[in-house]
Amino acid sequence: MGISMQTPRAVATALFCAALTGLGAATAGAAEFSADVHSTAPGGQAMNGKLWVKGERMRQEFTMMGQRTVMILDLSTGTNTMVDDANRIYFEMQAPDTGYGQLGDEDPLAAMADREELGSEEVSGYDCLKVRYTFHDPQMGASTQWIARDLDFPVKIVATMPAGETVTRYSNIREGGVDDALLRVPDGYRRMTMPGMGMGMGAPGGGM
């Protein structure tokens, strides 16, 4: 089923989870790997999918309420692209300002959050540095990330906001072998606009 047939809440939830991944990736330069993704949003809405990361680009595929959503995030430009393969169209949105394009900095989130290191833990088979970010904007709440040292990427993210808690975990991580074709819109797809769909960081509304 194409994006044009999805409910607004389904699309909003997909955008929100893509934003969470972007927040995590902004903390460091990303390695090259693929992984399975499981995310649970406030209200119990669950999404399962896959993630591909290579350099400053990443692709997420989620299945939610029986519908498939594809998001391609370019960290260098802060652009989030939703791809509708069924209708051969795509939508471009500006991702929130999380330090995109500043991956060479020690911590691009420093300007928007207070950072606290909470020690080391093993998650998904990786030795991780556990870090908690408390954002200056109360609506963004806090984000606890388990950053795999070998990947320089968070393999678990817990986002706590006024609307509730969202937990995202990455498993079955496979390093290397990411095809560049997965990280761009296929040739021949038409660019469309999606009225009313922003990319704010507020969590999707309740009742999901």
Return the SS3 of 25. Answer: helix
- Percent of the chain exceeding pLDDT 70 equals 71
pLDDT in tens, 33-48: 999 999 888 888 888 8
pLDDT value at 62 more than 80: yes
The residue extents of the domains of the chain are 3-192
Residue 42 corresponds to which amino acid?
A: P
Closest by CA to 101, choosing from 77, 65, 129, 67, is 77
- What is the per-residue burial (b if ≥16 Cβ within 10 Å, else e) of 152-175? ebbbbbbbbbebbebbbbbeebee
**Residue 151 to residue 146: CA distance in whole angstroms:** 11
User: What's the pLDDT tens digit per position in 73-126?
Assistant: 888 888 889 898 888 999 988 765 544 333 334 566 777 889 999 999 999 999
Report residue 194's pLDDT band, with 50, 70 and 90 as the boundaries: low
pLDDT of 182 over the 90 cut:
yes
Give the phi and the psi of residue 167 in degrees, each rounded to 5: -115, 125
Mean pLDDT throughout 61-73? 82
Residue 3 in 3-state DSSP? helix
Mean pLDDT of all residues belonging to the chain: 77
What class is the 3-192 domain?
Answer: mainly beta
Tens digits of residue pLDDT in 10-40: 445 455 555 555 555 554 455 899 999 998 8
Which of 141, 156, 135 shows the shortest CA–CA distance to 51? 156
